[in-house]
Structure 1
């Protein structure tokens, strides 16, 4: 799942957009008992794609590469002004790359919940880390990523798609 984040939110101080818009659904899924791997803002804001990555993709397919450059132009400018270089964070791509290459990510098993009944903390993801109450982890939280490998796998996947599509 792409959603949440232990570091805080992006739509409010505490709420990440995906969990903020439907915090009750996020809470139900997190508490359901099904295996959950969560890619929150802690990792999705680190897993960046840089302008040169998109330009490399454009060298294989100018139309797709230009589309990716154009649609990410505003994000890249914002991140550049914040000191992160001409980059963007393809948040929703992170869980897909994790499915394909879990070895490039650091994870931690945690007891997580989502606030859904408070205006101030709507959509907030938090850890129950109480020492006196034994905690059974319910989420495998993605906490870090090998950025160089993430960028390489992203580019390789898109370029392979282009090559396979062009050979049809």
Structure 2
């Protein structure tokens, strides 16, 4: 019986891209992007509300809500949007990193530390499996994160335009 080339992979288990994908998919933070749409938007709303509560005291110190309600709301929205943008960027870059590792024909790995990196060419069946994971699992996640970030950017740009018109 022929031994599969996947079984003789010299890359440590925790550094194999498919295992990095599974770990990311199961992590508390990064699995947000894999949630059903209503749950995903609920998480996004909660982060935005928390961001609003963090930034509204700063906005209130700059623009009193009693005297300038619109400026206070706009500045609080921009601050909350900035915090949400950081969260979305972290999600995007985490998933993008794993996607890149899965797409590559070789795996870069470290045997015992940062000073002795090696590369290992993926066998065709592993490369095919990894690229299917990217196509059917990760690309939709990256698309969702890109669209969400784009909508947030439009909202923040709208707030900025209103701010400039005041």
TM-score over 0.5 for the pair: no
Structure with the bigger RCO (C-alpha within 8 Å, sep 6+) is 1
- Normalised by the size of structure 2, how large is the TM-score? 0.26
Which is strand-richer, 1 or 2?
A: 1
Highest Rg: 1 or 2?
2
Which is helix-richer, 1 or 2?
A: 2
